[in-house]
Amino acid sequence: MRDPNREPPVIRIGLLGARGRMGSQVSRLLVEEFPSRATLAAAIDQGQPPSTLLECDAVIDFSSPTAMAALAREALERSGPLPVFAVGSTGWRIDEKRAIEELAARTPVLLSSNFSVGVLALLELLKEAGPLLSRLGYKPVIVERHHAHKKDAPSGTALALQRVISPQGPGNVPIHSVRAGEVIGDHEAAFYGTADVLSFSHHAQDRSIFARGALQASLWLHANRATLAERRKLIGMSDYFHHLKESTHV
């Protein structure tokens, strides 16, 4: 028999960038796929004061680094408990990144340039394959394609691929960015040998993969907030993937 006292709580989600391409997907999935786990408690866009987000249990950010850094600075001025943060914006300047690093010293903050489980798996595969292929003499190159409205280039995911293929520095892994049409997000890591090419790629068919990933990550952050808060530093994509490998549900 179901024991209502053991049901996970319904968490209150605050959404920064609510009307955007990604924010609207999060709102839709909350209703369609997460009605018993989470509810939309605050939805903020440009020109609206973001302070209501700080009353929520978890904040999902799909706005811009500038907007998220401003929210982080506002949060840091508060005493008392803060929400957990699943941050999806890409294209961070150093000062903006510092603001969310400071926030991560107070509350769990997951920064992920790609919430698709497929991309997280690709990054893990390339941790092994990238350095091996480089040792065998293959020359890596990354190609990423996104819609013409995307503000940053190269994409955060391309930079993450570059870091796993070449942990010692980006020097020998060029990134080619294409901005055209309405492409949701394609990434390819190709390794050129003298007479052959190995290619690893990910093609996003639908933005819901990122929205679903951000919602699942928020539930995980909130459920494990006490333990995660002890880290006092940004939680990365590979930390989250490690959790996914160990558990098929959050």
Ligand X SMILES: NC(=O)c1ccc[n+]([C@@H]2O[C@H](COP(=O)([O-])OP(=O)(O)OC[C@H]3O[C@@H](n4cnc5c(N)ncnc54)[C@H](OP(=O)(O)O)[C@@H]3O)[C@@H](O)[C@H]2O)c1
- Residues 98-117, interacting with ligand X (CB under 6 A): 112-115
Edge to edge, what strands does the sheet with 109-111 contain? Answer: 38-44, 11-16, 58-61, 84-87, 109-111
Report DSSP state, residue 177. E
CA angle 82, 85, 89 (to 5 degrees): 140
Whether 150 is a known active-site residue: answer yes
Residues contacting 248, CB < 8 A, separation 6+? none
Select 150 or 163, whichever has its Cβ closest to ligand X. Answer: 150
Query: Distance between CA 175 and CA 124 in Å, rounded?
Result: 19
Q: Is 220 in the site for ligand X (CB under 6 A)?
A: no
Query: Distance between CA 250 and CA 215 in Å, rounded?
Result: 10
Select 92 or 191, whichever has its Cβ closest to ligand X. Answer: 92
Q: How far is the CB of 226 from ligand X (least distance, A)?
A: 25
Please choose, out of 7-15, 76-84, 86-94, 127-135, the segment that lies near ligand X by the rule CB under 6 A.
Answer: 86-94
Q: How far is the CB of 66 from ligand X (least distance, A)?
A: 6
Q: Is 218 in the site for ligand X (CB under 6 A)?
A: no
How far are the Cα atoms of 12, 27, 45, 114, 116 from residue 19, in angstroms, in the given order? 18, 9, 7, 19, 20
**38: β partners:** 11
Q: How far is the CB of 90 from ligand X (least distance, A)?
A: 4
Query: Distance between CA 67 and CA 58 in Å, rounded?
Result: 16
Select 112 or 216, whichever has its Cβ closest to ligand X. Answer: 112
Q: Is 216 in the site for ligand X (CB under 6 A)?
A: no
Whether 146 is a known active-site residue: answer yes
Query: Distance between CA 166 and CA 184 in Å, rounded?
Result: 26
- Report the residue from 11, 15, 37, 62 that binds ligand X according to the rule CB under 6 A: 62
Count the residues of the shown chain that bind ligand X, applying the rule CB under 6 A: 25
Catalytic residue among 146, 187, 202, 222: 146
Q: Is 89 in the site for ligand X (CB under 6 A)?
A: yes
Classify 196 as helix, strand or coil. coil
- Report the residue from 14, 17, 108, 140 that binds ligand X according to the rule CB under 6 A: 17
Task: Print burial letters for 104-124: b (CB count within 10 Å at least 16), e (below 16).
Answer: bebbbbbbbbbbbeebbebbb
- Report the residue from 7, 9, 19, 81 that binds ligand X according to the rule CB under 6 A: 19
Q: Is 154 in the site for ligand X (CB under 6 A)?
A: no
Contact 219, 11 (CB under 8 A): yes
Instruction: Show the binding pattern over residues 40-59: x = contacts ligand X (CB under 6 A), - = does not.
Output: ----xxx-------------
Q: Is 120 in the site for ligand X (CB under 6 A)?
A: no
Q: Which residues bind ligand X (CB under 6 A)?
A: 16-17, 19-23, 44-46, 62-64, 66-67, 88-91, 112-115, 150, 210
* Residues with a known catalytic role: 146, 150
